[in-house]
Amino acid sequence: MLGTLVLLWLSVCLLFYLLRTHRAKNFPPGPQPIPIFGNLLQLNLENPIVDLNRLSERYGKVFSLYFGGRPAVILTGTQATRAALVSKAVDFAGRPHGLLLNHLTQGKGVIMADYGPSWREHRRFALMTLRNFGLGKHSMEERILGETEYVSALLEESVGKSVDPQTLFHNAACDIICSIMFGVRYEYDHQFFQAMIRMMAENSKIANGPWGMIYDTMPLLRSLPLPFQRALRDYNTVKLHVLEIIQKHRATRVPLQPRDVIDCYLDQMDKRRDDDSSLFDDDQMITLLLDLLFAGTDTTSNTIRSTILYLMTHPEVQERCQQEIDTVLEGRTQVSFEDRHKMPYMQAVIQESQRYASTLPLSVFHCTTRDTELMGYSIPKGTLVIPNLSSVLNEVGQWKFPNEFNPENFLNDQGEIQKNESFMPFSVGPRMCLGEGLARMELFLILVTLLRRFQFVWPEDAGEPDFTPVFGVTQAPKPYNINVRIRNCQEG
């Protein structure tokens, strides 16, 4: 019996030795993977950031891990991230294949589309269309401020109560982008509207969480009834509804008189109707719309929730923001995006919230488009690349107070906003987040409007604040409640 156990143990050891992964010559170093799992068992899949930072301390700013049998290069810190995504932007501009997010989007749209003509044309179209519908202009301000009135009305109803703001800010951000894409604003309790909100929140957690990692690493399990099936099902449900909206647009549109993004896309399809090589079609349109929906909702709403949490737990920061707002807006009924130039402290608070919250902790995974080199290492074409943006946003030596919430991280000695090359909450390079411009407008206009009207207070019975985030493609604060008070200030 003992001899059989020894033989079995030796067989297992031999199998592991034969199957163990050998890194290619001059490939970035990293921990030894084990067969089947790679390095997955060495990571806390609920939130791998701490483990990734720990491994970087041992193996360097550019190191490698294996997800199953698939090698991945992890970029840590400002120098490595900028060297790859900026200095060698084209080499690192691809998107990996075979992941859950690929299967959701089928590689179409812009977020998960691989680097190439379709991605370039659709990104250009999306940015141009957002500008045409007012991004950076007064018309977009009115759209955002109009939605903020709905938020304010609900907050006024909550005065004196302890309420959870989670869905409120998701609703507002989602409605703003829906009005641009679909030409309509939804009531917050609308069935399809709430389905979209749930789909984005759940899929964000699944895609970069344990079940997403299992899906990405173990293809044999993909057909089993595990939680990642819900992500696929929910995404397809929303796709079908968006297809219905597109069909209604086809029946009611007036060519070359676009009401929204869908009409603009249909105009593009008409324009290219006789071009057999056209990259614009219904499948691309649906995925692009869902990309815009995700890019325009999750990052903004989660950053607002994080900011409110930090302001409640740092009341002196909230008070200083309100003093600056009152001074700049004295005698006026509403804020303008141009006012940001007169509110350096408010800008610093928003940027510090983005930094400290690290809403896009691992960016969206990249992939090398050709054989390349980075900081002395050789990285083959098709290698998965993961920028650890959290490591950049908290890097010691790059920030005055890297591990605490402090707006002084963005202010010079004269109290003016100062730029920092490590501030990349939406990544950097050609694949940086498509929704950044809209997010910056929303964050400033919504937060200034709300802080002018309300004081946000941590509930006395809520216990100690927990700043541990809920990890996902977009990182969110844990659910919390707020107390809302009306401010005694004059708005003109």
In Å, what is the CA distance from 324 to each residue of 342, 484, 489? Answer: 9, 20, 13
pLDDT tier, 209 (very low <50, low <70, confident <90, very high otherwise): confident
Which tens digit of pLDDT belongs to each residue from 80-95?
Answer: 999 999 999 999 999 9
Q: What whole-number distance in Å separates Cα of residue 171 and Cα of residue 150? A: 10
CA dihedral of 430, 431, 436, 438, whole degrees rounded to 10: 90
Which tens digit of pLDDT belongs to each residue from 423-482?
Answer: 999 999 999 988 888 999 999 999 999 999 999 999 988 889 999 998 888 888 999 999
Indicate the DSSP class of residue 83: I
pLDDT tier, 10 (very low <50, low <70, confident <90, very high otherwise): very low
What mean pLDDT is predicted for residues 107-126? 94
Place of tokens 């249909």: 266
Domain 42-486 has CATH 1.10.630.10: yes
Q: What whole-number distance in Å separates Cα of residue 451 and Cα of residue 447? A: 6
Q: What whole-number distance in Å separates Cα of residue 76 and Cα of residue 55? A: 10
- The yes-or-no verdict on residue 184 having pLDDT over 70 is yes
pLDDT tier, 212 (very low <50, low <70, confident <90, very high otherwise): confident
Provide the b/e sequence for 315-335 (b: ≥16 CB within 10 Å): eebbeebbebbeebbeeeebb
Q: What whole-number distance in Å separates Cα of residue 390 and Cα of residue 372? A: 25
pLDDT at position 193: 85
pLDDT tier, 4 (very low <50, low <70, confident <90, very high otherwise): very low
pLDDT at position 21: 57
* Structural Rg of the chain based on CA atoms: 24
Q: What whole-number distance in Å separates Cα of residue 281 and Cα of residue 276? A: 11
Evaluated on CA atoms 105, 110, 111, 116, the torsion sign reads: positive
For residue 42, what are its two tokens? 């060495």
- The yes-or-no verdict on residue 6 having pLDDT over 50 is no
Which tens digit of pLDDT belongs to each residue from 275-315?
Answer: 888 999 999 999 999 999 888 888 899 999 999 999 999 99
Mean pLDDT of the chain: 90
Q: What whole-number distance in Å separates Cα of residue 347 and Cα of residue 342? A: 9
- Percent of the chain at pLDDT > 70 equals 95
pLDDT tier, 330 (very low <50, low <70, confident <90, very high otherwise): very high
Kindly report the pTM of this predicted structure: 0.92
For residue 468, what are its two tokens? 């541990």
pLDDT at position 398: 96
Place of tokens 């970035």: 28
